Amino acid sequence: MPSWIGQAFRRGILTSRFPRGPASPEEVPETSRPPVLSPTLDPAPALSRATEDCPTGAIDPEGLHHGRCIRCARCTRQGFAFGGRAHPCASRPEDLYSAGGGPLPEREANRALAALGRSLQLFLVDAGSCLACNLEVLALANPYYDASRLGITFVNSPHHADVLVVVGIPTEPLLEPLRRAYEALPGPKAVLAVGACALEGGIFRGNPRTRAPLSDTLPVDLFVPGCPPTPLDILEGVLTLAGRGRGIQEAPP
Amino acid sequence: MSVAEDAAVAPGGAAERSLSYLPPDRSFALFTDHLARRSLRGTFGDLGEQDLRVARNWQPSAIRPWVLDLGEEVEGYGTFRFPYGPFSMGVPEAGTFEIVTYGERVLESRPGFGQKSRGILGSLPGLSPEDAALRVERLAGPYSAAHASAFLFAAESAAGIPLPAQEAHVRAVAQELQRVYNHLHVVARLAEAASQNVGQAQTHALAEEVLRLGGRHFGHRWLFGALLPRGPLRRLDAPERSELTRSLSAIGSRFEALWELFQGSRTFVDRLQGTGRVTRSQAVAWGAVGPVLRATGVAWDDRLRDPAPPYRDLFLPLARQTEGDALARALVRVEEIRSSLLLLEQLLDRWPGGGTIDPLPPVSPQRGLVRCEAPSGDLVWDVSVKEGKVREAGFRSPSQANWPLFALACRQSVFTDFHFTLESFGLAFAETDG
C-alpha cells in the first residue's frame, strides 16, 4: 500500500549541501553568475561597445554595475561571459560596481543581525514584482533548500519578523504599506533587498510609475542582485545578514 | 494580521488611504477596441461579446475606484467590508481584496487593481520588439514564456517577418515546460492549504526540478531571455534534447506516484470538492478562460482551437471536467501536466532541421494579434509595429479575464475557502496591472 512516508523515504534526502559543503552545478545555473569581461580583451573598447547594447544601463564605459544587471546575455557578444563568482551580495550599492568589468572583490560579511544568533524570521514583502523573485524567496522552504534547518523560517506578520525581505520595484501605491510594514518589525531588524528591481529598478528603472531605488524608502541592510537571484543567492544573503555568510563554494564539475 | 488589517480597525480615513489605486494600464481599452473590430473565432460566436461585458464591468466602481464591481451591492444586517492586504497572509503577492462579510461567511471578495502597476505597457512604444520583450517577459515571471512568445509572434505578424522553424519549437518547449511548472506549483499550494505537508513538500520539490531543467537547458530558471531572437545562451542540440526528454519522463513518473497518493487522501479531496464553484453559465457569461473554463465542461483550448505553428502537427488530448469546483480545476491541471509532458516528448522528438514558418496574417496592416494558451488560460497580445519599433501594444491576460469569476466563486464561501479558491484559479496581480 503506497503511503506518504514511504514516498518521502524513497525520494531520499534532496537537500542542498550548502552552506556546509559545496553547491552542486544544478544549484548555480549559468545566469546566476554575474557577467565578467574576458581578461584577454582590452577593456575600454569592449566596454564602450557593450554600453550601447546594455538595455538597463548596467554597463558604462568605466565598468559594470552588478546591481543593475538583469542577466539578459546581450553583452556576451561583446566579450562578457557569465563566469563571475556566484553571489556577490553587498551592503552598499556602490560595492556592486566593478571598475573595468572584472570580478568583484571579496568583502567582509554584514553582521546586521549577529545579535540574534541562530534563528531568523523572514517576512516577504512584494513592492511590485513580476512574481519570480517572490517564488525564489519562497523556494527556500522547499526540500531542496530547506532553510528551516538553518533556523530560517517565514512568518505571516511583520510583528513576528526580524528581516523584511523586499522584492520588486516600489510602485507609488505600495510605498506607504512598505513603510508601515517596516515600522511594524520589532528591533533589532534588517531589510534585505532581493533582485535587480528592488536594488535599482532593473529593466523598469526610470519608469514614471515606479519609485526606485528601494533604499530611498527603507534603510536597506543588504542587496542581493540577480533577475531573479537563485534561492541559493538569497539564502546566502540571509546568512550574511546574520553574520554567518561564508560565500558559495562550488563542487568541481 | 496584515498591515492593511491594522489600518482597517483604525478610525477615520486610514482605511481609505491604504486603498489607493492607480487605474489599470491601457490594455483594457485596447482589448475592447480590437474586439469591436474583430470577432474572435470559436465554438460560441458570442464569446467576443461576452468578453466585452467583462471589460465594461471593469470600469471604476462608484464605491471605490478600481475595485472590481460585479454590478450589484451585497448589503444586509451587520454587514461590513474590510480591506485584506496588500501584504496578506499566505498570498505570495501584494494585492488587496475588499471583503464583504458579517462574520464567518464571505459575502463578496472583490480584488482591487492597480497597486502593482509598473507601467509596462506605457513603456513599450518606441522600443524595438527585442527590447520590449525584455519588459514583456517580466510582466509575470511564472508566465514569461507565454507572454514573450505571444508578444514576439504578434510583433512578427505585424512586421511580416518569417520565423525559423526551430525557433517556433523552442518557444513551444519553453511554454510547455512553464505550464508543467505552474500546474505543479498550483497543486503544491493547494496541498499546502489542505495541510498535506509531505505532499506539498514533495510537489514543491518536483516544481523545483522543472525550474532546474530551465536553468540547465535554457540558462535561466524562469526562461527570461531564452526566447529572444538574439538572447538565448543555449540552442537545444540533439544530446541536450534527449537529456531533457529523459529528465521529463522521470518527473512525469514521480508526479504520477504523488498524484496517486493525493487521490487517496480524503482530507485533500474533501477539502477541494465543492469549494469555489463556478457554474458553466457563469463561466461562459463572464468570459472565463483556461482551466477555470475547462473545469466547467467547456472544450476550449487555444492550442487546439487556433493552433500556432508547432502545435498544428502535434497530438494533444483536451483536459475537461464538469463540476466547476476547485477539485475540477485541480484535475484539469493534473491532466494538463500529463498532456504537456506528452507534447514536450513530441516536440523534442520531431525537431525541425531547418526552414522557416510564415508569420501569422496581420489583423490590419502592421498590426498583429496573437492568442496563446498560457498556463492559466487564453492570453491575447495585440502589437502594432512601425519601422521596426513598437508603435502600440496591448494585452488581455488570463488573470484579467478570470478575476470576475474569482469574485463570483468567493460568494457565500467561508474564510478558510479563500486560499483554495485563489490558488486553484492561478491568478496574478502582476499580469493584471501590467
**DSSP characters over B155-187:** HHHHHT--EEHHHHHHHHHHHHHHHHHHHHHHH
Examine the pLDDT at B50 and tell me if it is beyond 90.
no
Q: What is the pLDDT of residue B173?
A: 92
The minimum CA-CA distance between B52 and chain A, rounded to whole Å, is: 27
Give the pLDDT score at B367. 85
Q: Which of A73, A139, A180 sits opposite B225 (nearest CB)?
A: A73
- Looking at the domain assignment, is residue B362 inside a domain? yes
B208 contacts on A by Cβ (under 8 Å): 139, 142, 144
Whether residue B190 lies inside any domain: the answer is yes
Give the span between the Cα atoms of B19 and B3, in whole angstroms: 12
Q: Are A170 and B83 in contact (CB under 8 A)?
A: no
- Whether A140 has a pLDDT exceeding 80, the answer reads yes
Task: Give the model confidence (pLDDT) of B340-367 as tens digits.
Answer: 999 999 999 988 888 888 888 887 888 8
**CA torsion through residues B382, B385, B388, B389, sign:** negative
Instruction: Decide if A82 and B233 are in contact by the 8 Å CB cutoff.
Output: yes
Task: Considering only the beta carbons, identify the residue of B21, B131, B201 that sits closest to A55.
Answer: B131
CATH number for the domain spanning B261: value is 1.10.645.10
**Residue B306: predicted pLDDT:** 65
Residue of A131, A194, A214 for testing the chain B interface, max B β-carbons within 10 Å: A131
How many structural domains does chain B have?
1
Count of A–B CB contacts within 8 Å?
202
Q: What is the mean pLDDT of chain A?
A: 86
| Rounded CA separation B318/B337 (Å) | 12
The answer to the question of residue B183 being in a domain is: yes
On chain A, the residues whose CB falls within 8 A of the CB of B18 are 176-177
Task: Evaluate whether residue B236 is within a structural domain.
Answer: yes
Quick check: B205 and A70 CB within 8 A? no
The pLDDT confidence band at residue B182, using thresholds 50, 70 and 90, is very high
- For residue B131, is it left (φ>0), alpha (ψ between -120 and 50) or beta? alpha
pLDDT tens, position by position, A16-46: 888 888 888 888 888 888 888 888 888 888 8
Rounded to whole angstroms, the Cα distance separating B395 from B410 reads 26
Q: What average pLDDT score do residues B229-237 get?
A: 69
Residues A165-187, mean pLDDT to the nearest whole number: 89
Determine the pLDDT at residue B411.
83
| Candidates B124, B204, B221, B422, partner chain A, best to mutate (most A CBs within 10 A) | B221
| Alpha-carbon torsion angle B233, B236, B238, B239, nearest 10 | 60
CB contact under 8 A, A143 and B114: no
Structural domains of chain A, with CATH: 16-248 (3.40.50.12280)
pLDDT digits (tens, 9 = 90+) for B157-169: 899 888 888 888 8
To the nearest whole Å, the CA of B146 is away from the closest chain A CA by 14
- Inter-chain CB proximity B231 and A74 less than 8 Å: yes
Higher pLDDT pick, A57 / B176 = B176
Domain contains B247 = yes
Nearest in space to B434 (alpha carbons), one of B177, B171, B151, B180:
B151
Q: Does A100 touch chain B (CB under 8 A)?
A: no
Contact B74, B410 (CB under 8 A): no
Residue of B nearest to A182 (CA): B3
Kindly state whether residue B255 falls inside one of the protein's structural domains: yes
What average pLDDT does the structure give for chain B? 79
Cα–Cα nearest to B278, from B432, B374, B404: B404
Is residue B377, in this structure, part of any structural domain at all?
yes
Chain B residue numbers with beta carbons less than 8 Å from the beta carbon of A172 are 20, 22
Cα distance between residue A60 and residue B346, in whole Å? 45
Banded model confidence at residue B148, pLDDT cuts 50, 70, 90: very high
Task: Please give the residue that has the higher pLDDT: either B231 or B237.
Answer: B237
A214 vs B contacts (CB less than 8 Å): none
Q: List, for residues B8-38, the tens digit of each pLDDT value.
A: 333 333 333 223 333 344 444 444 443 333 3
Instruction: Specify if B407 maps to a domain.
Output: no
Domain that holds residue B171: 120-399
Contacts of B48 by beta carbon, 8 Å cutoff, 6+ apart: B35, B38, B39, B40
Q: Region B134-138: what's the mean pLDDT? A: 91
Q: Are A202 and A227 in contact (CB under 8 A)?
A: yes
A165 near B CB under 8 A: no
At B376-422, the pLDDT tens digits run: 988 888 888 988 899 888 888 888 888 888 888 888 788 888 889 99
pLDDT at res. B234: 66
Q: Minimal Cα–Cα distance from A62 to chain B, Å?
A: 23
**Band of the pLDDT at B70, cuts 50, 70, 90?**
low
Who contacts B381 (Cβ-Cβ below 8 Å, separation ≥6)? B136, B147, B150, B151, B153, B154, B369, B370, B372, B393, B394, B395
Whether A74 and chain B come into contact, CB under 8 Å, resolves to yes
User: Across the interface, do A210 and B118 touch by the CB < 8 Å criterion?
Assistant: yes
